[in-house]
Amino acid sequence: MPPTPTPSANLDAAPGQLHPLAKQTLLAAIEAGWADPRRLYREARTARAFLDQAREVLASGLGTRPEELSFHAGGASAAIGAALDGLAWPRRRTGEAVVASAVEHSSVLIPSRYAAAHAPESARLIEVGVERDGRVDLAQWSDAVATGGVAVAALQQANGEVGTIQPLHEAYAACARSGVPLLVDAQVSLGRVGAPAAYDALVGDAATVGGPPLGLLVTPARTRFARSGAPREAEFGRADSPVWVPLALAAAEAWQQSAAARVADAAEAAALTARIREAAAAIPDVEVAGHPDDRLPHIVTFSALYVDGETIVGELDRLGLSVASGSACTASTLEPSHVLAAMGLLTHGNVRITLPWAAMAPDRAAAIDRLIEALPGVIAAARARLGADGL
């Protein structure tokens, strides 16, 4: 008889699978909540009630009011674009500069770099360096937001590649002293850890909690927020297009399920990623990235000298283990990581694990056992093929 194939395990949940109950909700909502909630007939009123219900659930979980939460299609990138625009436009007479850490997501850095390269000098990007553990340099940050002509600042709650949690309260206080609004990007952390309180706008993605890709934007009533261009009808004038109601319902269901499991899931995930960090650090010439303690529970990244990341990814894939390489902040390409480069760490031979929720991967502990057992041999074999095993 042929050997039983090794079961496949997904250790790259960025994003991951839909929560089973969110999937059921989505399918049911396609039947019952398909109508345009702006219409007046019966099915439309039903869809409107569903949309209001979903918004109330998510707003409550985020500690905000329903009218302060808007939905954005396509995931958090659309919400980030809307947030940057909505915070900057009311301050256009002050300036157009954007302050961001050097490890921000591409949805912040790429548009800002493009504007800085193609727009007037006032539309510059001020990138703030980070420490070797990935935390923003607060002295540099304070100086940057105090610079004349700054319209908006953007900082992650935590980095999606190395997991390091940023000192948001201190960064927000520096922004407040300079009168600069702060956009907090929580698209990889929202729901995995508690929602932050220090922000002028907050962005998340329902995919982080096992929902569909749906951008979430919180703009408190105290925040000056107005989009540039023609007025918009969707989502209190903050979104470019209306949300599809089934997606909002699935997102709300995923949030409820993950919120109930978050504390226990985070404790288990943190223990698993700690095991990976320890095992990787024990391999010669392997560098583990990110803060050892103040980090997201489900993310771990390491880099191996004398080998490229895609080779490791391919070898682990043949063993039924799906991991990522390259930069999580540039659409998960295999390009060298700008995050690791900004931290002054090895950018090649990079492996990133993002643990799925236990509800979607009840066997994740066994998968980590397999990963830890396989890693030394996989890295040694890859180095041997390159003639680097004795270096």
- The DSSP annotation for 307-326 comes to S-HHHHHHHHHHTTEE-B-S
Q: pLDDT class for 330, splitting at 50, 70, 90?
A: very low
Q: Which segment of 3-12, 48-57, 106-115, 212-221 scores lowest on mean pLDDT?
A: 3-12
Q: What is the pLDDT of residues 14-34, one digit of tens each?
A: 888 999 999 999 999 999 999
212 pLDDT above the threshold of 90:
yes
Question: What is residue 215's predicted lDDT score, i.e. its pLDDT?
Answer: 96
Q: Which of 209-213, 305-309, 377-381 has the lowest mean pLDDT?
A: 305-309
Count of domains in the chain?
Answer: 2
Q: Are residues 220 and 270 in the same domain?
A: no
Residue 1 pLDDT level (bands cut at 50, 70, 90): very low
Among 202, 232, 256, the domain boundary falls at 256
Q: Of 126-135, 241-250, 260-269, 343-352, which range is least confident?
A: 343-352
* 221 and 268 fall within a common domain: no
Nearest to 380 by CA among 389, 367, 390, 372: 389
The residue ranking higher by pLDDT, 92 or 3, is 92
The pLDDT score that the predictor gives to residue 328 is 44
181 and 99, same domain (yes or no): yes
pLDDT at 2: 43
Same domain assignment for residues 29 and 170: yes
Residue 140: what pLDDT?
A: 98
Close Cβ partners of 163 (under 8 Å, ≥ 6 residues apart): 273, 290, 291, 295, 296, 297, 298, 299, 300, 301
Q: In this predicted structure, what is the pLDDT of residue 329? A: 45
On whether both 300 and 239 belong to a single domain, the answer is no
pLDDT of residue 326: 72
The candidate with the shortest Cα–Cα distance to 256, out of 62, 121, 73, 88, is 62
Same-domain pairing of 178 and 315: no
Query: Looking at residues 209-222, what average pLDDT do you find?
Result: 97
Verify that 180 and 57 share a domain, yes or no. yes
- Of all residues in the chain, the percent with pLDDT exceeding 90 is 84
**CA atoms 275, 277, 281, 283: torsion sign:** positive
- Do both 214 and 360 map to the same domain? no
> Predicted confidence band at 213 (pLDDT cuts at 50, 70, 90)?
very high
Is the pLDDT reported for residue 336 higher than 80? no
- Regarding pTM above 0.85, the answer is yes
Q: Above 90 in pLDDT, residue 318?
A: yes
Q: Do both 222 and 324 map to the same domain?
A: no
Judged by DSSP in three states, 2 sits in: coil
Domain with 297, as residue range(s), is 9-15+262-385
pLDDT at 198: 96
- Answer with the one of 221, 256, 291 that is the final residue of a domain: 256
Q: Detail the DSSP E strand segments found in 50-143.
A: 69-73, 97-101, 125-128
Please report, in angstroms and rounded to a whole number, the separation of the first and last CA atoms in the chain: 42
Cβ burial, residue 280 (10 Å; 0-12/13-18/19+) = buried
- Mean pLDDT of the 342-349 span: 92
* Residue after which a domain boundary falls, among 238, 256, 274: 256
Q: Does residue 382 contact residue 312 with C-beta atoms inside 8 Å?
A: yes
Residue pair 184/199 in contact by the 8 Å Cβ criterion: yes
Q: Quickly state the pLDDT bin for 251 (edges 50, 70, 90).
A: very high
Residue 3 within any structural domain of the chain: no
Q: Answer whether residue 333 shows pLDDT above 80.
A: no
